[in-house]
Amino acid sequence: MSPQPQPPPGSSPARGASSQEAFAPEHGWCSQDVQRELPGLALLSNEILVGRAGSLTGSSPADISSRLRELSNRLRGAAAVGMRREPIPVAYRVFFRHIGLDPENARTPIEAAVLERMLRGGFLSEGLLADVLTIALIDTGVPVWALDADTVDGPLGIRASGAGERLGRSPEAPELPPGRLVIADASLPLAVLFGELAPGHEPRGRVRRLLLFALQVAGVPDLYVEEALWMCSAALESA
Amino acid sequence: MDVLRGARIRLSELSCAGMAQRRRPPVTAAPAPFRGHRRGWRSTRSAAVAAASAPRAGVPAGRRTATGAGKIRYPALAKESGVSQSQQLLIDRDLSVRRGDEMAARRSLQAQVTRLERELAQIVAEGFPHISPPQAHYLGGRPSAYALSSGAAANGPRLLSLEQLEQLRDHLAGALQDMRRRAQARLEHERRAHELLRCMKLEPGRYKFVRLPVSDLGQGNCGVWEVRPRFGLIGMLAGWWQVKLSSGCPLPRGSRAPRGPTHRTPPRAAVPPA
């Protein structure tokens, strides 16, 4: 973990600086009860056009692969243990407690990634999109998810699910228990908060338009969330 | 003396009467369940917690958190044929006060959970690997194996009720106490190990062949301090003892390849003349 987020691979410093100045992610909505109960929670999203003509799950370019290797070398056991002292991972741990999740059982995204690195011996490449999201997560501590923008109806936001609602539009969408905190568009839940994406809404194959979103919790500065989104946007647009 | 005693008695009677008068609830038109809802000498936080969490007379437990959904929430009043305007105003005021109290209680509990979680994380990070994280805690009971495997049901992200927040706070406070106890025990263990090492170095002859792992000293995982005789058997017979530290962790590349004829490079075949 580095306190200073690094520029994303695949973007030159000059282009990165200019694009970051103009970068303004959209703030999602939050239902009144969620806002009242969890005041620091915010959703930021950014829609991008993927630069790659091929599949997003295809192999990563050389610079992204080398960045993953570099992160694997940088993040060793001592850093993994010391992560519980760092402010951003701790903020997500605390938030997990506030929403009824035990971070010892349901790990926060950054801790899950670090544990995976320890078990597998490194951050193994899993395709362009997954690699870019992993790099942003490790660099900033802020998790970013991606949805197929063509399947999203309206702006994203956070709310509690109602009775009988399903996760996504596909026929095999699982039913959600009432009161589950979800990421939703104007009509339907598309993801469980810090959980799985709705089937049929994940970006697969040659998706061109992506909707990236990140979750900010109390104790995480805006800069880190925007940085995470910007890293993913810049890397995917220039891939 | 009697006069003084009588005066003292009268004074005490007076003071008690005064206090009783101060404590007497004001006469209002509100029904019995609402009379006790006033801020007294308690702190705002404890009053808020108590007001929001303690069951109140005449209010069913299941309805305690459902505030503001309707005008009348009390069955005794609902059964009456009509409620006067002043009573309705009091009910509204009581509901809004309760809502504010509950929100304050929730904020307070969330702040406590935040502080406890930070302290827990700090202790685990400092005590690793000797202090392991606390066991996972399931609010509302342990879920079934199916619920765990499918990630469904009770343990997903949700807004916690006041009772669940209290339960979580209590669990974390208990876990923190346990972790502090373990951290203290670990510190004591390391202190004893340091003391033993100091004694071994001072008088090695009294601690023959005693082994002390460096992990007990909190200095890593590999390596052992050991009292050994100098020059082997000669030192043992002569009483020459010394404290030695083993060479530490094995190398990451593994043990050295054994020497022997099997690992010799085969002789290069004679190159036939062109």
Q: Please return the burial class of B150, using the count of CB atoms within 10 Å of its CB with bins 0-12, 13-18 and 19+.
A: exposed
Beta carbons of B159 and A34 less than 8 Å apart: yes
Write down the pLDDT at residue A141.
95
Give the residue carrying structure tokens 């038109």: B29
DSSP per-residue codes, B226-255: EEEETTTHHHHHHT-EEEEE---SPPTT-S
| Mean pLDDT over the full length of chain B | 69
Beta carbons of B121 and A90 less than 8 Å apart: yes
Pick B158's closest partner by Cβ from A97, A102, A180. Answer: A180
Categorize the per-residue pLDDT at A211 as very low, low, confident or very high, splitting at 50, 70 and 90: very high
Predicted interface score ipTM higher than 0.90: no
Beta carbons of B155 and A94 less than 8 Å apart: no
The pLDDT of B70-89, averaged and rounded, is 57
CA A111 to chain centre: 13
Contact residues for B114 (Cβ-Cβ < 8 A; gap 6+): A94, A97, A98
Structure tokens at A44: 């930021």
Categorize the per-residue pLDDT at A233 as very low, low, confident or very high, splitting at 50, 70 and 90: very high
Distance from CA of B253 to the nearest CA of A (A): 15
The pLDDT of B210-237, averaged and rounded, is 89
Residue B55 pLDDT exceeds 80: no
Write down the pLDDT at residue A52.
86
What domains are there in chain A, each with its CATH number? Answer: 25-237 (3.50.40.10)
Region of poorest pLDDT, from A154-168, A183-197, B127-141: B127-141
Write down the pLDDT at residue B39.
39
Distance from CA of A193 to the nearest CA of B (A): 6
State whether residue A193 sits within 8 Å of chain B by CB: yes
The pLDDT of B3-14, averaged and rounded, is 39
Categorize the per-residue pLDDT at B38 as very low, low, confident or very high, splitting at 50, 70 and 90: very low
Residue A112: Cβ within 10 Å count: 14
B219 in any annotated domain = yes
The pairing of beta strand A29-30 with beta strand A157-160: parallel
Give the residue carrying structure tokens 């905190």: A181
Chain A residues lying within 8 Å of B133, measured CB to CB: 104
Q: How many helices (H) and strands (E) does chain B have?
A: 8, 3
Q: Which domain holds residue B219?
A: 203-249
Residue among B33, B107, B207, B220 nearest A37 (CA): B107
Categorize the per-residue pLDDT at B51 as very low, low, confident or very high, splitting at 50, 70 and 90: very low
Chain B residues lying within 8 Å of A91, measured CB to CB: none
Structure tokens at B253: 């590349």
The pLDDT of A129-144, averaged and rounded, is 96
A128 contacts A64 by C-beta, under 8 angstroms: yes
Distance from CA of A99 to the nearest CA of B (A): 5
Q: In percent, how much of chain B has pLDDT > 90?
A: 34
DSSP B11: H
User: What is the rounded distance in angstroms from the CA atom of residue A89 to the CA atom of residue A98?
Assistant: 14
Region of poorest pLDDT, from A31-35, A127-131, B96-100: B96-100
Specify the long-range contacts of residues B222-225, CB closer than 8 Å, at least 24 apart: B222/B246, B222/B248, B222/B249, B222/B250, B223/B247, B223/B248, B223/B249, B225/B197, B225/B200
A225 contacts A214 by C-beta, under 8 angstroms: yes
User: What is the rounded distance in angstroms from the CA atom of residue B179 to the CA atom of residue A94?
Assistant: 18
What is the enclosing helix (H) or strand (E) of A107?
A: none
Range among A74-78, B80-84, B204-208 with highest mean pLDDT value: B204-208
State whether residue A84 sits within 8 Å of chain B by CB: yes
Q: In percent, how much of chain B has pLDDT > 70?
A: 54
- What three-state secondary structure class fits A17? helix
Distance from CA of A98 to the nearest CA of B (A): 7
State the total domains in chain B.
1
Per residue, the 3-state secondary structure of B95-157, as one string, reads HHHHHHHHHHHHHHHHHHHHHHHHHHHHHHHHHCCCCCCCCCCCCCCCCCHHHHHHCCHHHCC
Residue A186 pLDDT exceeds 60: yes
Residue A161 pLDDT exceeds 80: yes
The pLDDT of A42-68, averaged and rounded, is 91
Residue B134 pLDDT exceeds 70: yes
Residue B20 pLDDT exceeds 60: no
The pLDDT of A170-181, averaged and rounded, is 91
- What three-state secondary structure class fits A33? helix
User: What is the rounded distance in angstroms from the CA atom of residue A164 to the CA atom of residue B262?
Assistant: 71
Residue A182 pLDDT exceeds 70: yes
Distance from CA of A41 to the nearest CA of B (A): 12
Beta carbons of A100 and B137 less than 8 Å apart: no
Write down the pLDDT at residue B189.
95
Region of poorest pLDDT, from A151-155, B140-144, B216-220: B140-144
Write down the pLDDT at residue B101.
84
B85 in any annotated domain = no
Beta carbons of B160 and A98 less than 8 Å apart: yes
Q: Please return the burial class of B161, using the count of CB atoms within 10 Å of its CB with bins 0-12, 13-18 and 19+.
A: middle
Chain A residues lying within 8 Å of B128, measured CB to CB: 81
B223 in any annotated domain = yes
Chain B residues with a Cβ under 8 Å from any Cβ in chain A:
103, 106, 110, 113-114, 117-118, 121-122, 124-125, 128, 133-139, 151-160, 164, 168, 172
pTM of the model: 0.70
Contact residues for B212 (Cβ-Cβ < 8 A; gap 6+): B193, B196, B197, B200, B224, B225, B226
Write down the pLDDT at residue B221.
76
State whether residue A104 sits within 8 Å of chain B by CB: yes
Residue B70 pLDDT exceeds 70: no
Residue B229 or A10, more confident: B229
Beta carbons of B151 and A196 less than 8 Å apart: yes
Residue A84 or A146, more confident: A146
Distance from CA of A63 to the nearest CA of B (A): 28
Residue A6 or B208, more confident: B208
Beta carbons of A196 and B152 less than 8 Å apart: no
Categorize the per-residue pLDDT at B82 as very low, low, confident or very high, splitting at 50, 70 and 90: low
Residue B5 pLDDT exceeds 50: no
B234 in any annotated domain = yes
B211 in any annotated domain = yes
Interface of A with B in 116-155 (CB under 8 A): none
State whether residue A172 sits within 8 Å of chain B by CB: no
pLDDT in tens, A21-37: 578 899 999 999 999 99
Region of poorest pLDDT, from A28-37, A215-224, B73-82: B73-82
B177 in any annotated domain = no
B227 contacts B242 by C-beta, under 8 angstroms: yes
A194: left (phi over 0), alpha (psi -120 to 50) or beta: left
Write down the pLDDT at residue B67.
40
| Mean pLDDT over the full length of chain A | 89
The pLDDT of A135-163, averaged and rounded, is 94
B168 in any annotated domain = no
Residue A8 or B94, more confident: B94
- What three-state secondary structure class fits B91? helix
Write down the pLDDT at residue A188.
92
- What three-state secondary structure class fits B211? strand
Categorize the per-residue pLDDT at A78 as very low, low, confident or very high, splitting at 50, 70 and 90: confident
Number of residue pairs across A and B with CB atoms under 8 Å?
87
